[in-house]
Structure 1
Amino acid sequence: MASSTSDHRRPLLPQGAEITTGVNGLDKVILRDIHGFSAEVTSWKNEYREELLFVSNKFSNHGSLEAHGFARNRFWSIDDNPPPLSTNPPNKSYIDLILKPSEDDLKIWPHSFEFRLRVILGPGGDLMLISRIRNTDTKPFTFTFAYHTYFSVSDVSEVRVEGLETLDYLDNLQNKERFTEQGDAIIFEGEVDKIYLSTPTKIAIIDHERKRTFVIRKDGLPDAVVWNPWDKKAKAMTDFGDEQYKHMLCVEAAAIEKPVTLKPGEEWRGRQEISAVPSSYCSGQLDPRKVLLSSS
């Protein structure tokens, strides 16, 4: 995982992290481990160099502030002196990044803050994101938060999501009206754009064809967004390939229904960890619920 730096200095990096030149000559950080796993801001690969995340071939950083926020396309700096975090075990590659508002940012969202992000690549390829947002302003502010994790899947119509059944959700396709999920799992037969509420700490995405299960673990993020544009919307989107909806699924940990409010000096923390584990569920040999129970 990585980010661009706003200057050309080369700080001392933790073991397993390296700075390279990315798109348009911008700096980016790549994390690597001894088994061949790697991660950067738009890429997460396993030891076979298979891409696990989805990025559109027409990827753009544009989008409304309301829908996407602004932290995703800002220049981040490497945090040389991060506050201590207990999540720093040995044999893990990691990097600490920090974002502070620019003058232009303050015109869009007039609040002073520090956004710290620790990105950790575990020895088994697990990817952990720990976000900390501190209010450095003189007055309270309120925000919503979501990790935009788009997973690469074989065929979205053959994918199941476990862990969100029977929960309430807000349907963005129906003016955020509240419903209750009725199925024993979420399957995909058309456009989906839902915010699931009070979700468990673990969610599983079972990809039958690839015999792979993505497991999402989260903390401090009570909601989960599930999104796929399907065919008509994909064709209408300028930053999305017409047929790419078939091979992507967005499941992201979030805090949306109840926005976070921070008083001056207060800090919020959220964490998301994603892992890819082999599964033979497509042949009926694995109960996907066991994946949720065993992946701690």
Structure 2
Amino acid sequence: MSTPITITRHQGLEALELVAPDGARATLLLHGAHLLSWVPAGADEQLYLSPKSAFATGQAVRGGVPVIFPQFAARGPLQRHGFARGKPWQLVSAEAGKDDALAVLRLNDDGATRMVWPHEFEAEISIRIAGRVLEMELACENRGATPMSFTAALHTYLRLTQYISASLQGLSGLAFWDSASDRAATQHEDLLRLDGEMDRIYQDLKHDLTLRDGDRRLRISQQGFSDAVVWNPGQAKGDALADMPEGGWKQMLCVEAAQVLRPIELPPGESWAGMQTLELT
């Protein structure tokens, strides 16, 4: 039997506090369908959220899991990272079951979106927590009469406790675009260690990744998304961010499930879905 989860408020914005029977917890804003927090059963916070984040209508939150749609970064004519993360999403359902907690939010086109992106669409995000697993699925349906093309990502900020020794495992052999140096390259080492600014789009991810941070191991998998973005602003750019404290860049690493290098092409009436799963092992 399921128990409905009611809307509360977090930092003045409408939010859902998901709690699974085993103690796993998550906080999800309706603003931007933005996941702020994920605490697995018997563990600590796994996401990074900047203490200087703005919680205001129309503004993006720094940290957690922003929803990037329908444009990644500045790769197109829209505002950076698209409009979805700054829009109010509608609650479809939220409930705690006997084994998990699940919330579904929806975003439809409106007059404001059609002014900048002339498409009729319905986007949904589903957030599920159970034990030490977080599942995030982003789906989109083309509800118009013409084809539409878009890029998207789940811009996941992972919390780091030991920046100097932290690494990401599983990228060996993958081609990537280095946005920091504006060049293409190939990853040769299996362990990617953090060393200054990093902004890479890895192509055709086939295997799970593992974040190694001290004794912590976080498995990262994805379906539907073909790219993985790995980003840390480094000291110069990180300390220059108005919504991140000095040194905050040492406490985070973005590992994003993304569709960037080959945009999604949706004919009328067709749907697409992509998922990222995090598991604390």
Please state which band the TM-score falls in when normalised by the shorter chain.
0.7 to 0.9
RMSD: 2.2
- Taking the aligned partners of 2:225 and 2:232, their CA distance within structure 1 comes to 21
Kept after mapping to 2: 8 A contact 1:190/1:230: yes
Kept after mapping to 1: 8 A contact 2:171/2:189: no
Task: Say if 2:161 is the partner of 1:154.
Answer: yes
From 86, 109, 118, the counterpart of 1:110: 118
In structure 1, what is the equivalent of residue 41 of structure 2? Answer: 47
Structure 1 unaligned residues grouped into runs of 5+: 1-12, 82-87, 278-296
DSSP-derived class of the 2:7 partner: strand
- Taking the aligned partners of 2:188 and 2:21, their CA distance within structure 1 comes to 44
In structure 1, what is the equivalent of residue 10 of structure 2? Answer: 22
Pair 189,59 (structure 1): closer, same or farther in 2 beyond 3 Å: same
- Taking the aligned partners of 1:161 and 1:49, their CA distance within structure 2 comes to 20
Structure whose CA Rg is larger: 1
Kept after mapping to 2: 8 A contact 1:166/1:181: yes
Task: Say if 2:170 is the partner of 1:170.
Answer: no
- Encode CA deviations 1:184-232: one digit per residue, 9 max, x unaligned: 3100111100000111241110112xx1111111101111000011110
Structure with a larger share of its residues in strand: 2
Pair 66,53 (structure 1): closer, same or farther in 2 beyond 3 Å: same
Kept after mapping to 1: 8 A contact 2:239/2:248: no
In structure 1, what is the equivalent of residue 251 of structure 2? Answer: 247
- Taking the aligned partners of 1:28 and 1:89, their CA distance within structure 2 comes to 19
In structure 2, what is the equivalent of residue 58 of structure 1? Answer: 52
DSSP-derived class of the 1:272 partner: strand
Structure with a larger share of its residues in helix: 1
- Taking the aligned partners of 1:44 and 1:205, their CA distance within structure 2 comes to 16
Task: Say if 2:263 is the partner of 1:269.
Answer: no
- Taking the aligned partners of 1:180 and 1:232, their CA distance within structure 2 comes to 25
Kept after mapping to 2: 8 A contact 1:14/1:95: no
From 116, 121, 137, the counterpart of 1:130: 137
- How many Å apart are 1:183 and its aligned residue? 1.9
DSSP-derived class of the 1:107 partner: helix
- Taking the aligned partners of 1:188 and 1:49, their CA distance within structure 2 comes to 24
- Taking the aligned partners of 1:30 and 1:73, their CA distance within structure 2 comes to 20
- Taking the aligned partners of 1:158 and 1:135, their CA distance within structure 2 comes to 44
Pair 90,202 (structure 1): closer, same or farther in 2 beyond 3 Å: farther
Kept after mapping to 1: 8 A contact 2:37/2:45: yes
- Taking the aligned partners of 2:127 and 2:184, their CA distance within structure 1 comes to 34
Task: Say if 2:109 is the partner of 1:101.
Answer: yes
DSSP-derived class of the 1:265 partner: coil
- How many Å apart are 1:14 and its aligned residue? 5.1
- Taking the aligned partners of 2:153 and 2:115, their CA distance within structure 1 comes to 22
- Taking the aligned partners of 2:192 and 2:279, their CA distance within structure 1 comes to 20
- Encode CA deviations 1:250-289: one digit per residue, 9 max, x unaligned: 0011111100010110000111111112xxxxxxxxxxxx
From 153, 170, 181, the counterpart of 2:187: 181
Kept after mapping to 2: 8 A contact 1:38/1:125: no
- Encode CA deviations 1:166-193: one digit per residue, 9 max, x unaligned: 2100000122x21011223100111100
In structure 1, what is the equivalent of residue 212 of structure 2? Answer: 206
Kept after mapping to 1: 8 A contact 2:121/2:143: yes
Kept after mapping to 2: 8 A contact 1:16/1:33: no
| Count of residue pairs brought into register by the alignment | 254
DSSP-derived class of the 1:56 partner: coil
Identity, % of aligned pairs? 30
Kept after mapping to 2: 8 A contact 1:143/1:261: yes
- Taking the aligned partners of 1:29 and 1:113, their CA distance within structure 2 comes to 24
Give TM-score scaled by structure 2 length: 0.84
Higher alpha-carbon deviation: 133-142 or 60-69: 60-69
- Taking the aligned partners of 1:156 and 1:257, their CA distance within structure 2 comes to 28
Task: Say if 2:263 is the partner of 1:256.
Answer: no
